[in-house]
Structure 1
Amino acid sequence: MPYDEAQLVRLAEADRAPVLFTLDGAPASALEGDTVLTAILTQRRMLRVSDFSGEPRAGFCLIGACQDCWIRTEDGARLRACSTAIEAGMRLLTHAVVNAKAETEAGADADRRHGGQA
């Protein structure tokens, strides 16, 4: 199943006010009162990829007791997706996007240290 399909399907409470946010640079919307985890999983199948296996993750305990749902905002702040309420204007990055950006920056740093030669 493609990862860009929703993991969660909203069946009730669909009449709450919409909340607009950005997910990996793309516009997205959730409903007032949603957690960040719910907001993301109503958009796609995974929250992030595992640091250890590279496999997709969609949360684990869902109550803030584990370490499975940490993501970052565009300004680098970490947040726990399962216990943080979505807010209008949030600019969220999944772990895969954060890792890709870090790898790109690390490569650019290495190029600068070696005079532009790989």
Structure 2
Amino acid sequence: MTKRIYNHPLLKNIETETVEMFYNHHPLTCHVGESVASCLLANDIRTIRHHEDDNSPRGIFCNIGHCFECRAEIDGKKNIRTCLTPVQEGMSVISGHSLPHDVREWSENHV
């Protein structure tokens, strides 16, 4: 079930072209020009990853690329911010697991 506004009193008809992407191997319909995070939110997906330390759910927080909470694996590349990544036809987004914290891992390996 999608949670989108398709008709607005001021903006009128908002329908646009759609593409299909895959989130954890499940197809989702997204609108051309929207971010991966927006598509996930519209499809009622709130948890994009889990915290590295306590496994708590993480999702969209700032939605402007500052916080890194919305990171996921996109087309095989890890730690990509979904709020800054436009959807593309056939894109694969993998999540549901803790992602490594690059700064912490670098610090532990370079002490």
TM-score, normalised with respect to structure 1: 0.66
Q: Which residue of 1 aligns with 2:40?
A: 40
Check whether the contact 1:24–1:97 (CA below 8 A) recurs between aligned residues.
no
* Divergent runs of 4+, >6 A: none
In the alignment of these two chains, the number of paired residues is 93
Percent identity between the two aligned chains: 23
Distance of aligned partners of 1:98 and 1:53 in 2 relative to their CA distance in 1, 3 Å threshold: closer
CA distance in 1, matches of 2:61, 2:84: 12
CA distance in 2, matches of 1:97, 1:53: 9
Provide structure 1 residue ranges, at least 5 long, that are not aligned to the other structure: 100-118
Question: Normalized per residue, which structure has more strand?
Answer: 2
Distance of aligned partners of 1:63 and 1:73 in 2 relative to their CA distance in 1, 3 Å threshold: same
Check whether the contact 2:79–2:99 (CA below 8 A) recurs between aligned residues.
no
Check whether the contact 1:34–1:85 (CA below 8 A) recurs between aligned residues.
yes
Check whether the contact 1:35–1:82 (CA below 8 A) recurs between aligned residues.
yes
1:40 positional shift: 1.3
Question: Normalized per residue, which structure has more helix?
Answer: 1
Deviation per residue, 1:9-51 (Å, 9 max, x gap):
2124641111101110111111111101011122223222222
**Aligned amino acid, residue 84 of structure 2:** S
TM-score, normalised with respect to structure 2: 0.70
Distance of aligned partners of 1:90 and 1:60 in 2 relative to their CA distance in 1, 3 Å threshold: same
1:98 positional shift: 7.1
Check whether the contact 1:14–1:31 (CA below 8 A) recurs between aligned residues.
no
CA distance in 1, matches of 2:75, 2:95: 10
Check whether the contact 1:69–1:80 (CA below 8 A) recurs between aligned residues.
yes
1:77 positional shift: 3.9
CA-based RMSD: 2.5
CA distance in 2, matches of 1:53, 1:23: 23
Q: Does the residue aligned with 1:37 lie in a helix, a strand or coil?
A: helix
